[in-house]
Amino acid sequence: MSDLTALTNADIFDGAEWHRATSLVIENGKIKTVGADVPAGARVIDVQGALVVPGFIDLQVNGGGGVMLNDEQTVEGLAQICAAHAKFGTTALLPTLITDTREITAAAIAAGKDAKAKKVPGFLGLHLEGPHLSIARKGAHDPQLIRPMEQVDLERLLALKGEFDGLMITVAPENTTEDQVRQLAQAGFTVSLGHTNTAYETAEAYVKAGARTATHLFNAMSPLENRTPGLVGTVLNVGSLYAGIIADGFHVHPASMSIALRAKQGSGKIFIVSDAMSTIGTDLTGFMLNGRQIYRKDGRLTLADGTLAGADIDMLSSVRFVHEKIGLPFEEALRMASLYPAEAIGVADRKGLLKPGFDADFVVLGRDHAMKSTWIGGDQVFSA
């Protein structure tokens, strides 16, 4: 017997167009129909004119709910991070490990495998942000832990082929080779360039080797200049390259974000990431990262010297920022948080849109774009 649920009296954005005053039917965790008649026997939920939109997909999430992946590599910790972000519309995410030791990395991978086996709601896979970065562009990463990728590192990473639905790694050309990137891409990694001073020509070569995205556009990377376009120039000019961007108004000036969105060429898109830390969903005033104090104040997270250390923002707030402050149509802001990250990570065949056969991952919002509920795999996991 199938499990049928119908949300009725809804304005549904399927990722491409609106379906007004109609129904969304889900069956066994998948979208069955959008805008069709409600089948007999379905459990009916009247959302009273609310908006139903694709669930948000966050490819860079360092923590949430008081937990940092760097501090707690357990399935319980991963579940707590996922649950914290579900309260703000995130239905799939990549818990992200900031540069750390081989032992911590191995523990995070083991916890990720456990989370997948136990089907933790919202867990999509892992993002390893480092340790193979540029010290010159370390940001809040511990320079004592940054190092070149060695053969033993590569072999351990290649052994993860097929283990996760989403698997991302941020690397810098300064500490990896084109061949290493090629092998990682062939093994199913979404290779992201970041924390680097790389030249345009080098970045372009790494894209040809298999790099698919760039990590937090503008931050911790060589800037766009008249004779040296750097990684920013590569993102904007190389059509296939996607890029995450932190939309909190602190990491990137709204004018820079607006210029980048207008300038981006090709099929690759700029998508929203939260780069969130453990503070999301809590009243924490700070936390520790690799033995260093991180301070939380006025929407910012910083080291003692003022260096930004991740972000204190959730995906729904990011969507609203892009819509209200940057001036993008609400529909495009939604795509930046759902469809485009799904494309970047290679899961756009089942996530990022509300289409028949896709995963029933969606968010119910008020007409004022306030949070109402979050659904993952057809189950309501949060209600406001």
What distance in Å separates the CA atoms of residue 64 and residue 314, rounded to the nearest whole number?
A: 9
Q: Is the pLDDT of residue 1 over 80?
A: no
pLDDT in tens, 281-340: 999 898 888 788 999 999 999 999 988 888 999 999 999 999 999 999 999 999 999 999
Angle between helices 200-209 and 230-237 (to 10 degrees): 50
List all residues 6 or more positions away from 153 whose beta carbon is below 8 Å from its beta carbon: 102, 132
Question: Is 251 known to sit in a ligand binding site?
Answer: yes
Give how far Cα 189 sits from Cα of 62, 199, 369, Å: 18, 23, 34
Sign of CA dihedral 218, 221, 226, 228: negative
Question: Is 79 known to sit in a ligand binding site?
Answer: no
What is the SS3 assignment for 78?
helix
Structural domains of the chain in order of their starting residue, each with its CATH number? 4-53+353-383 (2.30.40.10), 56-345 (3.20.20.140)
136: tokens are 């010159």
**Positions marked catalytic:** 275
pLDDT in tens, 76-126: 999 999 999 999 999 999 999 999 999 999 999 999 999 999 999 999 999
Rounded to a whole number of angstroms, the CA Rg of the chain reads: 20
Q: Is the pLDDT of residue 2 over 70?
A: no
Q: Is the pLDDT of residue 66 over 80?
A: yes
Mean pLDDT of 263-275: 97
Question: Is 182 known to sit in a ligand binding site?
Answer: no
Q: What is the mean pLDDT of the chain?
A: 96
Question: Is 369 known to sit in a ligand binding site?
Answer: no
Q: Is the pLDDT of residue 30 over 90?
A: yes
Mean pLDDT of 21-46: 95
Q: Is the pLDDT of residue 211 over 60?
A: yes
Query: pTM for this one?
Result: 0.97
The residue type found at 186 is: Q
Q: Is the pLDDT of residue 36 over 90?
A: no
Q: What is the pLDDT of residue 288?
A: 83
Q: Are 27 and 241 in contact, with CB atoms under 8 Å apart?
A: no
Paired with 38 in beta bridges are none
